[in-house]
Structure 1
Amino acid sequence: MSNDIAYPVFRTPDLTLAMSAARRLMDFGRREYSEVSVSAELRSVAEVRRVAYELPGAWFRGQEEFGEFDGVPFEDQPALVVGVQAPGLPTDPSAYEGRLPVECSLLDQPVGSIEDAFTAVTGPNIGEIRWASLCWPDAPEAGFGGESKHAEVTLLLNTRTRDLDEPANDHTVLVHIRSAIVSGRQTREPYAHWLAEQAGLTIIGPGQRL
């Protein structure tokens, strides 16, 4: 079993520039089977309704207290807790009490099918766009073989962390590679530098792991 590590390679308050950089890097490893997933944290009922109107195919899932539904059959749990598509969202505002923030997501979509619509409605909300099933090529001049399992690109919206827990006034592009720690050192970090350079980018901070 292996894990990934993601290095920031670009940061800007300009979403158009951030998206351009992310796509440039993603295109370097894109394959016909590559996919994109998006998600955002919505902190008010008004925002949930607004985004649901714009993205009717998205799924929404609210928060629950630890152990709140222990022993409760899945079919008897609130739709907002187990996950529901936009048309099935509760209309009663009281259904959202204790459920905010609500996570909105669209997973495993064709590349290019959802990114622009998602960024258009995200607004100030924290979110991410993650392109997966990429394939990074060999870098023989740098002494590294390619990889596919952890070949991903993430665009963080209004945050700088993969935990999506710290609001920011800018957007960050991350390049993902396999984590390989030897004697406390990431031995594949130079490969991340090489990948960034191929898209005209550069590592601007320490790697992030989940």
Structure 2
Amino acid sequence: MANSYAQPVLRTTDLSEGLRVVERLLAIADLRELEIDYEARVSSTRTLTPLLEVLPRAMWYAEGDSEASSEAGDDPSAHLPIRVRARAADPETVGPFLKSLHDTPATVRWDFEGWPAAPEVGLGYGGSRGAFVTLCVNVRDLDLEQPATDHTVFVHVKQIEAERAPWLAAQVGLQVIGDLVMAPY
């Protein structure tokens, strides 16, 4: 599967504002087969314990030199900091996931069937291989490398349909605020 490309459309210190923008974007998307993917860079048990209660089947791996992981059956609290990932989670887990984070850098990605046609920019229906919305929490980038005190909403599109990102932003009263970047899978 090819990577999507993402472009930021909102940066805010108000997490609820970020969620409202996500909801507005999802309102124009084809939400068939909606799934939620999570990733977090966890460095404390204060976050780890509630996060694993919300996502008990999440996978994790230690950052740095350690080879500790959920696959090896290791204790995650003994190997902090770790990366926690969960794929294809239910939408109902978003609120509890966000509440568990405190100041932990994390992403929530909504994965769905497609974007609507954008005839104004010459694009038809945008299928699932480039139809996502990501909310970056306490971090500025999709790779969780730039911790921040704010949150960023990204729209994902196919690279060959880059003009869809500003079109999507305009549909919810916004504009793109940064460059189009290749998103991690």
- State whether TM-score is above 0.5: yes
Question: Equivalences for 1:33-48 in 2 at 5 Å?
Answer: 33-48=33-48
Alignment counterpart, residue 71 of structure 2, candidates 57, 65, 82: 82
Question: Equivalences for 1:1-20 in 2 at 5 Å?
Answer: 2-20=2-20
User: Would the aligned equivalents of 1:35 and 1:108 in 2 still touch at CA under 8 Å?
Assistant: yes
Alignment counterpart, residue 120 of structure 1, candidates 99, 107, 120: 99
- Which runs of 5 or more residues in structure 2 are unaligned? none
- In the TM superposition, what is the alpha-carbon distance from 1:40 to its structure 2 partner? 1.2
* Residue type at the aligned position of 2:142: R
Change (3 A) 1:6 1:83: farther
Structure 1 runs of 4+ off > 4 angstroms? none
- Which runs of 5 or more residues in structure 1 are unaligned? 70-77, 181-187
Q: How many residues align?
A: 182
After superposing the two structures, state which structure 1 stretch, 100-109 or 119-128, moved more. 100-109
* Residue type at the aligned position of 1:90: D
Q: Given the alignment of the two structures, is residue 207 of structure 1 paired with residue 184 of structure 2, yes or no?
A: no
Normalised to the residue count of structure 1, the TM-score between the two structures is: 0.76
Normalised to the residue count of structure 2, the TM-score between the two structures is: 0.86
Alignment counterpart, residue 151 of structure 2, candidates 153, 164, 171: 171
User: Would the aligned equivalents of 2:47 and 2:102 in 1 still touch at CA under 8 Å?
Assistant: no
Identity value in percent: 29
Q: Where does residue 80 of structure 2 map in the other structure?
A: 100
Larger Rg: 1
Question: Equivalences for 1:55-74 in 2 at 5 Å?
Answer: 55=54, 57-63=56-62
SS in 2 for 1:41: strand
Q: Where does residue 51 of structure 2 map in the other structure?
A: 51
Q: Where does residue 143 of structure 1 map in the other structure?
A: 122
Change (3 A) 1:83 1:202: farther
Q: Kindly report the root-mean-square deviation, in angstroms, between the aligned alpha carbons of the 2 structures.
A: 2.4
Query: 1:125-165: CA deviations, max 9, x gaps?
Result: 00000001231111122211221111100000111111111
Query: 1:92-121: CA deviations, max 9, x gaps?
Result: x6xx2xx322223332123x3111111111
User: Would the aligned equivalents of 1:26 and 1:134 in 2 still touch at CA under 8 Å?
Assistant: no
Change (3 A) 1:8 1:151: same
